[in-house]
């Protein structure tokens, strides 16, 4: 990949403001956002920057230009939607897209059609980089190889991320490409949180507690700025869910562990299990690792409890109609979140602020009510938004764009 010379004023050679494209891939989906790059450095990127987020955020931040998603890639019911920051729909098409490459090509065409300059940087959200990739960085051939070697840490997430990276580097060959890791934020966890109670050789091989949703948590830290107290708990609740304990804006513990399967029961993921459950399955059903992978990540969690349904909105409707399986799934989820909040209160000594984020955290008042029920003794009341409980929109794509711009400026300095 050829180096791109970035003008000091963060403009393209045509005089247009430089743009940064952010890509977030899934197994059958692709989310994306295009930002106009700010001209001045923001507090993002390094561990040092994470502590600086308590200072005032820069007034000149990245500006959203376009956002969208390609859903159902490879399925007849697939669709592609691109809209402006104010919600104006530029493109909406319902048809079969065979691959993320096709979706990316349509995106590139839409950028040109609507007069946007081609991006000077492309930021890729990478869920897991294994033990050797714990900092946001430029995607060099060496970094890509390290990422390929880490596939066994997240076999459901890394392969589609690698495929998208390769495709994007061909379509946007003139741009710098950066990997932003969800695990990076949690590298501040102390050994008592990051080490597993296994023989030392496993830790040396990278079998440790990593934590995820780091880009979401970074964005919340930055957004709160001076209003972030010393002892906070963030709950990112969605199809994938986790809870994080923060002291002075740094992660000290989090619910997800070696992989994004651990911690809370999620839409289709089991969350934490007694290891004996897996041994039982192996002995009685003779399942191999691939079958366990599918069972734990695609057939368990809320879907396992509620007959295959993992969507919280649908479960709430079923529960309201008297469905006991749906009620159990919701109660199990909210109870697990509440238990982690209580555990982190003990870890931190007290909770000064509880933040709900993610699709469920933002939009389900019922889940928030159930989580906070019983925590009133700590001053955590869902119906008191002016108090110690807040609901915030997470800005993962914006946070990735900030990292890309900071890394671009470091390279141009």
* Candidate list 3, 56, 60, 182, residue with the active-site label: 182
Residue pair 357/392 in contact (Cβ under 8 Å)? The answer is: yes
Q: What is the model's pLDDT at position 330?
A: 98
Residue pair 150/126 in contact (Cβ under 8 Å)? The answer is: no
Nearest-angstrom CA–CA distance, 77 and 98: 11
pLDDT band at 93; cut points 50, 70, 90: confident
Query: What is the tally of helices (H) and strands (E) in the chain?
Result: 15, 13
Residue 120 pairs in a beta bridge with none
Q: What is the mean pLDDT of the chain?
A: 89
Angle at 63 between CA 88 and CA 136, to 5 degrees: 120
Residue 199 has a CB neighbour count (10 Å cut-off) of 9
Distances in Å between the Cα of 223 and the Cα atoms of 129, 190, 227, 393 are: 26, 25, 9, 9
Percentage of the residues of the chain whose pLDDT score is greater than 70: 89
Nearest in space to 344 (alpha carbons), one of 234, 245, 264, 255: 245
Residue pair 399/215 in contact (Cβ under 8 Å)? The answer is: yes
Nearest in space to 183 (alpha carbons), one of 124, 246, 126: 126
Tens of pLDDT along 199-215?
A: 999 999 999 999 999 99
Q: What is the model's pLDDT at position 161?
A: 87
Tens of pLDDT along 18-59?
A: 999 999 887 667 889 999 999 754 434 443 444 344 334 444
Residue pair 337/354 in contact (Cβ under 8 Å)? The answer is: no
Tens of pLDDT along 280-334?
A: 999 999 999 999 999 999 999 999 999 999 999 999 999 999 999 999 999 999 9
- Phi, psi (5° rounding) for residue 371? -60, -45
Nearest-angstrom CA–CA distance, 156 and 297: 9
Residue pair 409/121 in contact (Cβ under 8 Å)? The answer is: no
Nearest in space to 69 (alpha carbons), one of 109, 26, 35: 26
Nearest-angstrom CA–CA distance, 125 and 122: 10
Residue 413 has a CB neighbour count (10 Å cut-off) of 8
Q: What is the model's pLDDT at position 42?
A: 42
pLDDT band at 91; cut points 50, 70, 90: confident
Nearest-angstrom CA–CA distance, 329 and 87: 34
Q: What is the model's pLDDT at position 47?
A: 37
pLDDT band at 346; cut points 50, 70, 90: very high
Q: What is the model's pLDDT at position 71?
A: 83
pLDDT score of 11 more than 70:
no
pLDDT score of 76 more than 90:
no
Nearest in space to 338 (alpha carbons), one of 372, 378, 383: 372
Q: Is 274 a known active-site residue?
A: no
Q: What is the model's pLDDT at position 6?
A: 42
Tens of pLDDT along 94-114?
A: 877 777 778 888 788 877 887
Tokens of 126: 């990478």
Residue 222 has a CB neighbour count (10 Å cut-off) of 25
Tens of pLDDT along 263-284?
A: 999 999 999 999 999 999 999 9
pLDDT score of 128 more than 60:
yes
Write down all domains in the chain, each with its CATH number in brackets.
19-181+397-412 (3.30.420.40), 226-382 (3.30.420.40)
Q: What is the model's pLDDT at position 240?
A: 93
């Amino acid at each position: 990949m050829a180096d791109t010379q970035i003008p000091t004023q963060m403009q393209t050679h045509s005089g247009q403001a430089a743009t940064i494209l952010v890509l977030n891939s899934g197994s059958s989906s692709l989310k994306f956002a295009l930002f106009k790059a700010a001209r001045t450095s923001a507090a993002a990127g390094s561990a040092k920057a994470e502590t600086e987020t308590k200072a005032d955020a820069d007034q000149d931040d990245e500006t959203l230009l376009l956002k969208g998603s390609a859903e159902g890639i490879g399925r007849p019911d697939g669709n592609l939607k691109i809209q402006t920051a104010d919600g104006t729909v530029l493109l909406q098409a319902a048809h079969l897209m065979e691959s993320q490459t096709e979706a990316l090509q349509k995106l590139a065409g839409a950028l040109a059609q609507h007069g946007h300059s081609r991006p000077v940087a492309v930021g890729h959200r990478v869920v897991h980089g294994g033990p050797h990739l714990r900092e946001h960085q430029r995607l060099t051939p060496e970094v890509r190889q390290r990422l390929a070697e880490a596939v066994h840490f997240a076999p459901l997430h890394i392969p589609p991320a690698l495929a998208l990276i390769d495709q994007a580097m061909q379509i946007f060959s003139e741009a710098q490409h950066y990997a932003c890791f969800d695990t990076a934020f949690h590298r501040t966890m102390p050994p008592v949180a990051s080490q597993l109670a296994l023989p030392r050789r496993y830790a040396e091989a990278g079998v440790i507690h990593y934590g995820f949703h780091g880009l979401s948590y970074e964005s919340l830290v930055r957004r709160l700025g001076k209003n972030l107290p010393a002892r906070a708990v963030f709950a990112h609740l969605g199809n994938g869910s986790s809870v994080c304990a923060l002291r002075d804006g740094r992660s000290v513990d989090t619910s997800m562990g070696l992989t994004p399967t651990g911690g809370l029961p999620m839409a289709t993921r089991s969350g934490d299990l007694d290891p004996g459950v897996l041994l039982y399955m192996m002995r009685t059903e003779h399942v191999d690792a691939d079958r366990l992978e599918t069972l734990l990540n695609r057939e368990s969690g809320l879907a396992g409890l509620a007959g295959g349904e993992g969507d919280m909105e649908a479960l709430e409707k079923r529960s309201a109609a008297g469905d006991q399986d749906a009620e159990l799934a919701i109660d199990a989820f909210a109870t697990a979140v509440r238990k982690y909040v209580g555990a982190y209160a003990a870890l931190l000594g007290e909770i000064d602020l509880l933040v709900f984020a993610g699709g469920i955290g933002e939009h389900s008042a019922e889940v928030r009510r159930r989580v906070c029920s019983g925590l009133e003794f700590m001053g955590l009341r869902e119906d008191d938004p002016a108090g110690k409980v807040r609901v915030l929109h997470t800005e993962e794509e914006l946070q990735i764009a900030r990292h890309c711009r900071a890394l671009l400026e470091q390279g141009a300095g």
